Structure 1
Amino acid sequence: MDEQALLGLDPGADPPYRQRAMAYFEQLKESRDAWEVCAQALAKGLYSDDHVKFFCFQVLEHQVKFRHGGLSGDQRQLIRETLMKWLQFQVLSAQPEKIFVRNKAAQVLALTFVAEYPALWPDFFFDMLTLVGLDPRGVDIYLRTLMAIDGEVVDRDTLHAPEVARRNTLIKDAMREQCVPSLVESWFQILHAYQRSHPELTCQCLEVVGAYVSWIDLGLIANQRFVDLLLSHMAVEELREEACDCLLEMVNKGMDPVEKTKLVESLAQVLQSAGFFYVEQEEDVDFLAKFSRLVNGMGQSLVLSWTKLAKAGSADDAGAALRALEAKVALVLRLLVHPDDDISANVVAFCYEYLHVLKQLPELNDGQKSNMEAIMLAVVKKLTYDDEYNFDNEGEDEAMFVEYRKQLKMLLDRLAQVSPELVLESVRRVFTDTMRKWQSASFMEVEVAIRLLYMLGEALPASHGAHFSGDAVKTGALQDMMTTLVSCGVSDYRHASVSLEFFETVVRYDKFFVAEPLHIPNVLMAFLDRRGLRHDSPKVRSRVAYLFSRFIKTLHKHMTAFIEDILTRIQDLLELAPPDKAFPAPLTSDDQLFMFEAAGVLIVSGESPPERKRALMRALLAPLMDAFRLLLDQLPLETDEETQAAVADCLSHAVGFVSRTSKAFSNKQTVKQCGCTEVYRDCLRAFLPALSCPVRRGALRGCVRSFLHRMIICMEEEVLPFIPAASEHMLKDCEAKDLQEFIPLISQIAAKFKRQVSPLLQQVFMPLVLAIFEVLARPADADDQAAALERQMLRRSYFSLVHTVAGSGLSEVLAGQGPENVERVVFTVIQGAVDFPDPVAQKTCFAVLGRLVELWGGKAGMTGFSDFTYKHIVPACFLAPLKPTFDLSDAQTVLTLSEVAATLKTIYAQQGPELLEFLRRDYLPSLHLCPDVAQELCHVLQQPDPKVLKTYLKVFFQRARL
């Protein structure tokens, strides 16, 4: 072997040595026989360096995995002998190999087994067991190999190709027939021999048994001697967790439901007799976590057995399964209420499925009702926060508890499906008792009581979307609890979790206030004072801002009398935070968006006359406009990057806040009807100069552009006079991204106003197009992938714009640009259809061409367009699909081909026999197509069903490329 190259295998080797080692590795892998030196090195134990041995196994791995079929019989024999001799070294060696070497060896052994068993190496396991015996080092390799084989042949998490799945089935069938009983016997001997002296080997063996039990004869494992052995392992601290996992795999094995019931019952009796059901006395929580998974698996298996037997009509057997199931509930409940949430979480799935069983029974007995009550009590207990929960700095533990709470909520929902009365009464009792003493109760008790009321909203179905109509019992209970919540003073509780739960619940049941509006003033005050928007906790203030917005939007009709008072009280929360941030603002800018939306809803939905609404909206927005003008003047003067960014953020926030108020308008309450048009016009006048600001242009253009989009929706035609100036600003010193983001604005105007904006679009269309051409013509770095993508997206946006203009009844916008410009635009569309390998853009281009033929073709169309069609559009329909970059197997490209077919059909509709003659006599012969093919295409083109041509063209172009 190349000793110099081997030096590069050391992790600390210099780069040149490592590169040489990599090159040597590739050389050995690809050579027909050079790899044999690695086999000899392993067989003879020539190297003591772990990295060299790992290297040799990697070379062998490549041969077995990728080149086994091409190896000669002697070479395959060499690999077998190498592996057996290396294994013999392990048995005789005083020092075991490093784990990474052992794992790689096991992987190669497994790959060899898969390649050669049973046809070429039927005695694989017997050869291995003969060598290994009960030597610990040999047993270790044997067990690792078995797990590697499981990974290759059995592992259900791996998706195998059909031929690999067939191979795996053949291997398992052969193993069952030839060697599984011997393997099981070896496992028993290992488990028995090493349970005290080598617990790590015993654990490995238990893992192997658990892996293989899913597909071998269960009787080989589920017998007296094996179960007794596993139970003895459960009494050994180092082995008990693996023993639990092994038993769980046995329980999870697919089998006949009657047999499964018997298996689970016998296992349960043995475990109970051995004292494992006394979980309260067990202090090892890690073991209990494993044990709870085992119990959960036993319970789920019994549920599955009952379901199958009940469906099959086997009443006696189903009854036995149900009794077995019921007998496990007491144990499961003790695990469900365990202080450790991991242990509790492990049995939630069984509880959920057990409740589903109860839901299907015609009638519940007293024991089953008691079980449901116990589950309900457990849910209440386990939903409660513990003292260690860190509300100020929530980490992984807190996140896990939140997830655990979601599981408990599912359990509550299922309980409510089985017995809504039980859930309603339980929640009512806990809530009423807690609210009665909230001032002296811990925050955990108060929070969970309100939380349960909140959770009822999803647990109990609402009638017609409201909880306060329909079922009188439920409605009465909910009304009583909500009345208590908003009137007992609990909103004064000073813990953040209670405050949040209070406001969440108030908003969840906002329809309560429709039924009882007299409570609205008290709740509004809670929102507005130190309990809500002025709370000490930023987290509470932030969430309450969102909830306040929702509360206002739902109940604004009931707040007419309070509108101006509310606006006055929240005025300081609507101020634009200065860029220096010398004092922390009570709300973040994101939170303020909700506040401005709420303020807008209050103003717009009130019963004031339009003049008053205009005055209130101006009072709300004027400070933002004034601050915007001052900051915009200040921005170019700032030289510090950080200060510039802060000022630009403030400007963006001001625009965003104004934009958010416009969400309050609707078809019934438009800007014009509310008398607010002039206010928003003033905002546009204030904001548009930002488009020309020389610094932080991207951020400012983005926010103003978004505002224009919003104003097109709200102000309708009132916004149109501002578009030419906005367009002029946007097209100065622009980049690809600027244009790409501006084009949708013009498209929106064209699509919304159509012919009404024809004069405006005629004015802005060509300057925009020329700006696009200028940006696309700039030299670009071929290696700059980001820039290339931007140019591609700009092209797509440009073609989309032309399509929108052509498709919105605005063809005069194109026609009015003068002959030279029209020709230039149409040629770019032809170029986009043929020259750029971008199926998204090509599809749009052909859609444009089809539309132009529709508009300008025929006798009454544009002069000379018919000639243009024959010279350029018809050839484009053939040249594009004939290009090698036009991938006919790509779904997007097939859509483009459909558009090509539609374009040809449109031309045929205009030109008729003249097109057919042109294709037969002039164009198709120029593509060297034989007359029969040309005739066939013309025949298909005449078929009335457009789908016929679409289907045909794919075959036509596939043949034409050959």
Structure 2
Amino acid sequence: MACESAFPAIMDEQALMGLNPNADACYRQRALAYFEQLKESQDGWEVCAEALAKGIYSDDHVKFFCFQVLEHQIKYRHVRLTGAQQQLIRETLMKWLQLQLMSRQPEKPFIKNKAAQVFALTFVMEYLTLWPKFFFDVLSLVGLNPHGLDIYLRTLMAIDAEVVDRDILHGPEETRRNTLIKDSMRETCIPALVESWYQILQTYQSSHSELTCQCLEVVGAYVSWIDLNLIANDRFVNLLLSHMSVEELREEACDCLFEIVNKGMDPVDKTKLVESLSQVLQSAGFFNVKQEEDVDFLAKFSRLMNGMGQALVLSWTKLTKTGDMKVAAETLQALEAKIPLMLQLLMHEDDDISANIVGFCYDYLHVLKQLPLLTDQQKSNIEAIMLAVMKKLTYDDEYNFENEGEDEAMFVEYRKQLKMLLDRLAQVSPELLLESVHRVFTSTMQSWQTARFMEVEVAIRLFYMLGEALPASHGAHFSGDAAKASTLQDMMRTLLSSGVSEYQHTSVTLEFFETVVRYDKFFIVEPQNIPVVLMAFLDHRGLRHSSPKVRSRVAYLFSRFIKTLHKHMNAYIEDILSRIQDLLALTPPENGFPALLSSDDQLFMFETAGVLIVNGESPADRKQVLMRSLLTPLMEAFRLLLAKLTQESDEERQTALADCLSHAVGFASRTSKAFSNKQTVKLCGCSEVYLDCLQTFLPALSCPVQRGMLRSAVRSFLHRMIICLEEEVLPFIPSASEHMLKDCEPKDLQEFIPLISQITAKFKSQVSPFLQQVFMPLVLAIFEVLSRPAEENDQTAALEKQMLRRSYFSFIQTIASSGMNEVMANQGAENVERVLFTIIQGAVDFPDPVAQKTCFIILSRLVELWGKHSSRGLCQTDNIDRFTTDGPEFIQFLQQEYLPSLHVSPEITQELCQVLQQPDTKVLKNYMKAFFQQAKL
């Protein structure tokens, strides 16, 4: 609450004690309350201003507190302050700054930063009107005093954040204000500011490196919008270059030069700037990268060279578009003169240095792609980039494959950048890339037994990356271009015949399988190679590898391999099923033995087994036997585990058992992914075994414990069976529904409704009697859950109810859309009216556009179905008539009551009613769209 009366002239000392981080809670609470009082009062903040101006307090927390109070006044109450109060703020800041000049001990950084924010806010509020001499006043006060200059430079960076920083979103008014501030600064004070920067850089480059670095940061920030000639001149650039030789300054000097180079300007001028800078840097020895040991500086230098290179590319692009070919050729020459340095940086062993030059390298390749003919030197450059990429893709010895951390994640990201380069190389010279990778790959595969793991891995990785880099028609790398197909086929044969799959390193093993699956179409062309790779998948190299990480990935890759090549697997089906039998076992929680595969991995294995059985050429009775032998162990285990669960009292054991039961259902469900429709299920003779699964799993719905997990699993299985078994699943639905509707939670209902909707949409009139029976129990269960009280701020509960309400309306829409009006109509007048009321309420009362749209669709459909007094029976029409008005009455209602209440003019009312009565709905839609657009205006 604002304190309107005059505030005490001294600060509340007891409240200030609460500012200490170690203070008691009661003191902290008092300090917080005091802060709020000072912020909202008309004059209470003035005691903080006085404390700052006179340096009354030495405690850092109190000083910070005072600046916070002042900041609030400037930010939120400035326009309400009197002229005298605004003057007081200006005087306070200058007096505080004066104190800093005399102080031997500088303030803590967090206080200086807060002070700089307050200075910047005051500047933004007052520069254009009350304080146009802001910078001149500050500069004349601080002179060359290092303490004062520190505040001055921090203030400049705070002003940059307020006025210039493009990452901060501003409204139109703020944007206009910021533009005016920059225009005014350019006209009045920028030359003086630049001169002050030069003096700071020159005066303190040897004695105060921190201050000099701050100043370099300011120059880099401001150069983007001030006159470049003030900075890009001999005296300033020479000073910056001299800083490049000072260890404490060189990184910041690099960043500053980068910002200068990055400034938007005319392409000819930009080329001249870059070239002059380049010559000076080269003369000073900075291009001798191999002699530089400071990797942090080299990373900054690489970024600078990247900026220079990209600037030249941009200039070349602009010049070629304008047709200035002579100057464009000179720019290209300047660009290509940087390539040797670019390659040195790209190949540097430090990945940060290499990563910082990738952008230039990428853009240079784009330039080459546009040239009609490449010179020998340009071809040589392409090859050099290619070799650099191949070298840099290689893992180092320190990479931790078992416990990947931040360093490993950074290398993975860096590899993605290199892949972009490889893709661009493929666009510029696909033949050269193919030839180079082929050469490296073949050479490495010949000596893989004696090569280090990273050399073997990168050779296979390069082969893998070719598949994405080289253009392929629908992935058909082994047809079309004979030379490419021949080379890739040769490499695949080498990969399989070399024995490299036996290499004892997980990275090589994984790369082998990834590549086999990447080029799975090869096996369609050369199916004789299938047995070799199948054995690799199935033995110690793949699914039985010592590394869980390898086994997990191979389970997924194996499923992809089988899906692609199932037509070529007939001779191997039963052998594969026999070899993976133990990997398909359900592992009960009391087993105690760690499974080779996780349950998620096993899902892929069951899907693979299903694909093999279903797509094989065996007769239906054999397929039935194979599918039953796959699913029977799951059913047997399920029955035993369910019996144990019902008798188990320990909650942890209950969860473990329910988890295992859910997996069993999930595995059975996953095998059905091999079927496309019911015809396939019947053709394979597998209907019976899936019906047996249903009978086995449904009793879990009545299990008194772990209901949520079990219901979810069985519900998912029912969804699949509706697709696979069609009407054969119908006898199971009533009983399943009855169990799933008992003791429902919002999530249970929300997940059950899509199942009922799926049944409704698929079987329509076939399930009408069942739906009529289950409709009101389901609706009442939904109403009961929606009516349960919930905490006001419980966002989770609110979202659950919103989603359930949407599901409910979606269910009603499905019934209406399926033309099954009798399902609702036969529920009795009171129930129908209740349901209709909820739909109208959903269309009007709830602020949920998704639900509202659904409700309007339902209402439209119901009016269409029930709104005619034909032979549909009185029950429907009596109910809908309570909520609808027939044509003439509706027009009369609009003309005489509704539209006048909205202050719609008689002319528009008449026009609207005429449009409503004509038969063309398209005309009505267009009119209503224009009507509402006009209404908004």
2:592 is the alignment partner of 1:582 = yes
CA distances 1:798-845 after superposition (whole Å, capped 9, x unpaired)? 222122112102112223334454344334434444555544334333
CA–CA separation in structure 2 for the residues paired with 1:449 and 1:179: 60
2:916 is the alignment partner of 1:941 = yes
- For 2:883, the equivalent position in structure 1 comes to 872
Alignment of 1:914-933 (within 5 A): 914-917=889-892
* 1:15–1:780 Cα change, 3 Å: closer
Per-residue deviation, 1:22: 2.1
Do the aligned partners of 2:829 and 2:875 also contact (CA within 8 Å) in 1? no
CA–CA separation in structure 2 for the residues paired with 1:762 and 1:927: 42
- For 1:808, the equivalent position in structure 2 comes to 818
CA–CA separation in structure 1 for the residues paired with 2:617 and 2:409: 46
The partner residue of 2:46 within 36, 48, 56 is 36
- For 2:874, the equivalent position in structure 1 comes to 863
Do the aligned partners of 2:678 and 2:724 also contact (CA within 8 Å) in 1? no
Counterpart of 1:285, as a letter, is: V
Do the aligned partners of 1:532 and 1:544 also contact (CA within 8 Å) in 2? yes
Do the aligned partners of 1:187 and 1:205 also contact (CA within 8 Å) in 2? yes
Alignment of 1:949-960 (within 5 A): 950-951=928-929
2:212 is the alignment partner of 1:234 = no
- For 1:520, the equivalent position in structure 2 comes to 530
CA–CA separation in structure 1 for the residues paired with 2:219 and 2:783: 70
* 1:926–1:165 Cα change, 3 Å: closer
2:298 is the alignment partner of 1:323 = no
- For 2:7, the equivalent position in structure 1 comes to none
The partner residue of 2:196 within 186, 195, 203 is 186
Per-residue deviation, 1:580: 2.5
CA–CA separation in structure 2 for the residues paired with 1:923 and 1:181: 67
CA–CA separation in structure 2 for the residues paired with 1:735 and 1:809: 30
The partner residue of 1:378 within 388, 394, 418 is 388
The partner residue of 1:13 within 7, 23, 26 is 23
- For 1:309, the equivalent position in structure 2 comes to 319
2:767 is the alignment partner of 1:792 = no
Counterpart of 1:23, as a letter, is: A
CA–CA separation in structure 1 for the residues paired with 2:101 and 2:591: 72
Alignment of 1:154-553 (within 5 A): 154-553=164-563
* 1:61–1:614 Cα change, 3 Å: same
* 1:915–1:142 Cα change, 3 Å: closer
Do the aligned partners of 2:611 and 2:674 also contact (CA within 8 Å) in 1? yes
Do the aligned partners of 2:825 and 2:875 also contact (CA within 8 Å) in 1? no
CA–CA separation in structure 1 for the residues paired with 2:44 and 2:714: 69
Do the aligned partners of 1:856 and 1:862 also contact (CA within 8 Å) in 2? no
CA–CA separation in structure 1 for the residues paired with 2:65 and 2:900: 63
Do the aligned partners of 1:580 and 1:646 also contact (CA within 8 Å) in 2? no
Q: Structure 2: which 5+ runs fail to align?
A: 1-10
Q: Once superposed, what is the RMSD of the aligned Cα atoms?
A: 2.2
CA distances 1:185-220 after superposition (whole Å, capped 9, x unpaired)? 111111111111111111111111111111122222
* 1:929–1:344 Cα change, 3 Å: closer
CA–CA separation in structure 1 for the residues paired with 2:534 and 2:523: 11
Counterpart of 2:156, as a letter, is: L
Per-residue deviation, 1:780: 5.1
Counterpart of 1:164, as a letter, is: E
Counterpart of 1:676, as a letter, is: C
Quick check: 711-720 or 560-569, which moved more? 711-720
Counterpart of 1:862, as a letter, is: G
CA–CA separation in structure 1 for the residues paired with 2:299 and 2:727: 67
Secondary structure of residue in 2 paired with 1:470: coil
Q: Structure 1: which 5+ runs fail to align?
A: 875-910
Do the aligned partners of 1:830 and 1:873 also contact (CA within 8 Å) in 2? no
Secondary structure of residue in 1 paired with 2:442: helix
Q: How many residues align?
A: 923
Do the aligned partners of 2:867 and 2:881 also contact (CA within 8 Å) in 1? no
CA distances 1:675-700 after superposition (whole Å, capped 9, x unpaired)? 10001000000000000100000000
Counterpart of 2:675, as a letter, is: F
CA–CA separation in structure 2 for the residues paired with 1:156 and 1:833: 42
CA distances 1:569-611 after superposition (whole Å, capped 9, x unpaired)? 0000000111125111000000011110110000000011111
* 1:854–1:481 Cα change, 3 Å: same
* 1:870–1:722 Cα change, 3 Å: closer
CA–CA separation in structure 1 for the residues paired with 2:847 and 2:645: 43
Secondary structure of residue in 2 paired with 1:550: helix
Counterpart of 2:434, as a letter, is: L
Q: TM (normalized to structure 1)?
A: 0.92
Counterpart of 2:215, as a letter, is: C
* 1:27–1:821 Cα change, 3 Å: closer
Quick check: 84-93 or 70-79, which moved more? 70-79
CA–CA separation in structure 1 for the residues paired with 2:67 and 2:892: 71
- For 1:733, the equivalent position in structure 2 comes to 743
Counterpart of 2:182, as a letter, is: K
Do the aligned partners of 1:724 and 1:763 also contact (CA within 8 Å) in 2? no
2:884 is the alignment partner of 1:913 = no
CA–CA separation in structure 2 for the residues paired with 1:952 and 1:780: 42
* 1:953–1:838 Cα change, 3 Å: farther
Counterpart of 2:538, as a letter, is: L
* 1:823–1:646 Cα change, 3 Å: same
Alignment of 1:625-644 (within 5 A): 625-644=635-654
Counterpart of 2:264, as a letter, is: G
CA–CA separation in structure 2 for the residues paired with 1:818 and 1:415: 73
Per-residue deviation, 1:917: 4.2
CA distances 1:75-117 after superposition (whole Å, capped 9, x unpaired)? 2222111111111111111111111111111111111112222
Quick check: 384-393 or 865-874, which moved more? 865-874
Counterpart of 2:731, as a letter, is: P
- For 2:715, the equivalent position in structure 1 comes to 705
Per-residue deviation, 1:851: 1.9
CA–CA separation in structure 2 for the residues paired with 1:375 and 1:712: 56
* 1:857–1:373 Cα change, 3 Å: same
CA distances 1:713-771 after superposition (whole Å, capped 9, x unpaired)? 11111111110110111122222322221111111011112223223323332332333
* 1:337–1:837 Cα change, 3 Å: closer
Secondary structure of residue in 1 paired with 2:767: helix
2:622 is the alignment partner of 1:612 = yes
* 1:642–1:377 Cα change, 3 Å: same
* 1:344–1:327 Cα change, 3 Å: same
- For 1:691, the equivalent position in structure 2 comes to 701
CA–CA separation in structure 2 for the residues paired with 1:792 and 1:153: 42
- For 2:109, the equivalent position in structure 1 comes to 99
* 1:948–1:406 Cα change, 3 Å: closer
* 1:722–1:341 Cα change, 3 Å: same
* 1:459–1:912 Cα change, 3 Å: same
Q: TM (normalized to structure 2)?
A: 0.95
CA–CA separation in structure 1 for the residues paired with 2:420 and 2:333: 25
CA–CA separation in structure 1 for the residues paired with 2:606 and 2:934: 60
CA–CA separation in structure 1 for the residues paired with 2:146 and 2:266: 38
Alignment of 1:833-852 (within 5 A): 833-834=843-844, 836-852=846-862
Counterpart of 2:925, as a letter, is: K
CA–CA separation in structure 1 for the residues paired with 2:231 and 2:93: 30
- For 1:112, the equivalent position in structure 2 comes to 122
Per-residue deviation, 1:504: 0.4
